[in-house]
């Protein structure tokens, strides 16, 4: 094995007695060994004095191990060289490995080791990300499946409760009518929540299919106002529309859902005898829809978080009946159309939700 030491440019030095050292052949020229024992390694290699002081306690314990020094530079003859030392100890034996190293090669080794560590870390993160994505897909599949399983019987509850409310099976007493009304209110609220969970799971799973068509936006607004009219009338809230007589190329059903969420929120948070305004405008590149109310509004520091799922819009200061999914779904539906949604302060003092969507190519699906 003596042929290995010259290749590594390595000197193996063993202690003979305290203060005396002897190299094992073959001995590299740079060690300056002329035969016999070395009185002091510190004369030729000053850094070793400090290193050996650190190594002595480990040597004296009689345990197996290795202590490696930092790399240092010093002159050897007319040139400067880099060195590194290793103190080896075990089974009652001691040795000092002194190696002259190529600093550029060492830097390359360190760079390679760093790249290898980075690759291992990246691979670990990729694996964790893939596992997280798999868990996310399974969660979305579970939510979608469970939502369907819950929605089917709940539709039956709503249907039969509606028949009871209409007294199709016979006349009800006043107390029975109150019970049926409570059943309908609770079941419709739960059905709306399940539908929103199902929508959100479908969007997150990338399964939202948009059916683009050209339609009159004013007709869509009229349908929404017809649905929300009784709720607005109950609170004496006036809903007006301006500039909605435009044509857009989008998914009509999803735009109806967007408007139901935005206008429904505006009606809910407008004060008694308040007002809500629906506006629209169209240009060559984008069309814009805005829904405003004259309620308390939304503080600027809370406007971004309000689109998070399960974020309750209590910032309006109104009694809360929301489950915190409507605006999260609205934002995702707008983004599915390639648009953006933002919140401003309305001229009437409340919140103004503004949706800006690029005009889609009418030939695209």
Query: 323 by DSSP, 3-state: which?
Result: coil
Band of the pLDDT at 71, cuts 50, 70, 90? confident
Q: b/e string for 145-168 if b means 16 or more Cβ within 10 A?
A: eebeebbeebeebbeebeebeeee
Rounded distance between C-alpha atoms, residue 236 and residue 273, angstroms: 5
Whole-number pLDDT of residue 103: 64
- As a whole number, mean pLDDT of residues 196-200 equals 76
C-alpha 322: how far from chain center: 25
Tokens standing for residue 45: 């290699």
pLDDT at 106: 65
* Fold matches, 124-204 and 212-358: no
Q: pLDDT (tens digit, 9 = 90+) per residue, 219-243?
A: 999 999 998 998 899 899 999 999 9
CATH node for 124-204: 1.10.287.130
CA distance 313 to 291: 16
Q: Count other Cβ atoms within 10 Å, centred on residue 44.
A: 15
pLDDT for 180 beyond 80: yes
The CATH T-level fold of domain 4-101 is Beta-Lactamase (3.30.450)
For the ranges 47-56, 207-216, 310-319, the lowest mean pLDDT is seen at 310-319
What residue spans define the domains of the chain?
4-101, 124-204, 212-358
- Which phi and psi (to 5°) does residue 245 adopt? -80, 65
The yes/no answer on whether domain 212-358 falls in CATH 3.10.20.30 is: no
The pair phi, psi for residue 116, each rounded to 5°, is: -65, -45
Segment 316-363, tens digit of pLDDT: 444 445 556 788 889 999 999 999 999 999 888 899 999 999 986 554
């Amino acid at each position: 094995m003596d042929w290995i030491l010259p290749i590594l440019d390595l000197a193996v030095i063993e202690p003979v007695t305290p203060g005396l050292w002897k190299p094992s052949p073959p001995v590299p020229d740079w060690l300056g060994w002329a035969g016999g024992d070395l009185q002091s390694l510190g004369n030729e290699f000053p850094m070793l004095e400090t290193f050996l002081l650190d190594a002595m306690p480990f040597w004296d314990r009689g345990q197996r191990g290795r202590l490696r020094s930092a790399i240092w530079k010093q002159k050897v003859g007319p040139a400067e060289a880099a060195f590194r030392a290793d103190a080896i100890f075990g089974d009652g034996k001691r040795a000092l490995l002194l190696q002259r190293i190529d600093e550029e090669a060492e830097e390359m080794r360190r760079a390679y080791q760093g790249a290898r560590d980075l690759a291992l870390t990246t691979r670990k993160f990729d694996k964790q990300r893939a596992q997280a994505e798999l868990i996310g897909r399974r969660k979305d599949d579970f939510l979608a499946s469970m939502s369907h399983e819950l929605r089917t019987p709940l539709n039956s509850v709503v249907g039969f409760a509606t028949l009871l409310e209409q007294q199709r099976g016979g006349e009800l007493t006043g107390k029975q009518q109150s019970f049926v009304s409570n059943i309908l209110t609770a079941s419709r609220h739960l059905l709306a929540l399940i539908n929103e969970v199902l929508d959100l799971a479908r969007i997150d799973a990338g399964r939202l299919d948009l059916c683009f068509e050209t339609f009159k936006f004013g007709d869509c607004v009229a349908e929404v106002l017809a649905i929300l009219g009784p709720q607005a009338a109950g609170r004496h809230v006036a809903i007006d529309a301006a500039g909605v007589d435009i044509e857009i190329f989008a998914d009509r059903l999803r735009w109806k859902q967007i408007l139901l969420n935005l206008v429904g929120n505006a009606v809910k948070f407008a004060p008694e005898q308040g007002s809500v305004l629906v506006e629209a405008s169209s240009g060559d590149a984008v069309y814009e829809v805005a829904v405003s109310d004259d309620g308390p509004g939304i503080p600027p520091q809370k406007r971004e978080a309000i689109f998070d799922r399960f974020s309750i819009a209590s910032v309006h200061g109104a009694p809360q009946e929301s489950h915190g999914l409507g605006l999260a779904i609205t934002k995702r539906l707008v983004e599915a159309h390639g648009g953006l949604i933002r919140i401003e302060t309305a001229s009437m003092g409340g919140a103004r939700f503004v949706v800006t969507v690029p005009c889609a190519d009418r030939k695209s699906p």
